[in-house]
């Protein structure tokens, strides 16, 4: 079933908008917050095979406890993913992805005061997630993989994260130019579907289809991406390019992650996506204090 048809079917079944009023309020508060200070997005992977924490939070109780701990630590939004996006990860079906995220998302929507985002490239999963209580759709293919995704975002009034991605790495590519072309295509799809610009966030996609040098360049060139006039999200948390600079396993890359995120913030990023919420918030607060004292 197409994304728009699915969204309309769910809307009619419920007899109301897909996004509940309290979820819409969380969405609006989060987007407003981005105008005054950087926000931190906590990562919750309910997968068996994510590159850094696969399997740790797959069980329901573990997932709920971790999400609550990230909110206590100060995160502004929790990003829930049911399919690993690491290189060579095994794709999962729509039904399997929904089974992984559904119960957790439903519980957290009632438990947490912060909004939830759904990390998916499947329109049907996104529609169900918004109906369940998510406020943001985080699409790592920026509306360009599932042709129905733009319609679902428009129908549900979700906020949207458009992330740059590539099928393969290519050292010869001018990565900033490639990111710009990708964003231009995605924004055109969003405009055609009627998605308002004020709910869109851009993500240069650190670690996705880029060489280590290109990842470094993407963080360094955030000021150029600010020309779009939209909030920028950066998720460098525990990514492999850190290993290329300072050899380390994923769980030992907190220092490198914080370094990348502080530079991203200083360069104009509005949202930092991280596994390590408390450490990241402390680093951003210190960076903000130092910057404000200059």
**273 catalytically annotated:** yes
Annotated active-site residue in 210, 273, 285, 291: 273
Rounded Cα distance, 108 and 133, in Å: 8
What are the residues whose beta carbons fall under 8 Å from the beta carbon of 239, sequence distance 6 or more?
Answer: 206, 207, 215, 253, 257, 260
Cα-atom radius of gyration of the chain, to the nearest Å?
18
How many residues make up the chain in this entry?
Answer: 294
**239 catalytically annotated:** yes
Rounded Cα distance, 142 and 163, in Å: 5
Annotated active-site residue in 239, 253, 285, 291: 239
Q: Which residues are catalytic?
A: 239, 273
């Amino acid at each position: 079933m197409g994304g728009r048809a699915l969204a309309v079917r769910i809307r009619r079944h419920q007899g109301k908008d897909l996004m509940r009023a309290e979820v819409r309020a969380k969405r609006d508060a989060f987007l407003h917050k981005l105008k005054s200070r950087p926000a931190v997005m906590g990562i919750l992977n309910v997968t068996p095979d994510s590159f850094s924490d696969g399997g740790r939070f797959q069980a329901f109780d573990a997932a709920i406890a971790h999400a609550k701990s990230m909110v206590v630590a100060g995160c502004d939004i929790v990003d829930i993913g049911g399919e690993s996006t690491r290189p060579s990860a095994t794709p999962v079906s729509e039904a399997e992805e929904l089974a992984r995220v559904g119960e957790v998302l439903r519980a957290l929507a009632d438990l947490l005061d912060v909004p939830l985002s759904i990390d998916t490239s499947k329109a049907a999963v996104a529609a169900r997630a918004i109906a369940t209580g998510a406020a943001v759709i985080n699409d790592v293919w920026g509306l360009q993989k599932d042709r129905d995704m733009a319609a679902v975002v428009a129908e549900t009034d979700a906020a949207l994260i458009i992330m740059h991605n590539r099928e393969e790495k290519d050292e010869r590519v001018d990565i900033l130019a490639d990111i710009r072309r990708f964003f231009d295509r995605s924004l055109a799809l969003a405009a055609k579907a009627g998605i308002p610009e004020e709910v869109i966030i851009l993500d240069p996609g650190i670690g996705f289809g880029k060489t280590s040098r290109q990842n470094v360049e993407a963080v360094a060139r955030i000021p150029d991406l600010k020309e779009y006039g939209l909030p920028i999200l950066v998720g460098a948390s525990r990514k492999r390019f850190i290993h290329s600079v300072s050899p380390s396993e994923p769980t030992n890359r907190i220092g490198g992650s914080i370094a990348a995120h502080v530079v991203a913030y200083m360069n104009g990023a509005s949202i930092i996506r991280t596994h390590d919420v408390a450490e990241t918030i402390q680093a951003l607060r210190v960076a903000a204090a130092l910057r404000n004292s200059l």
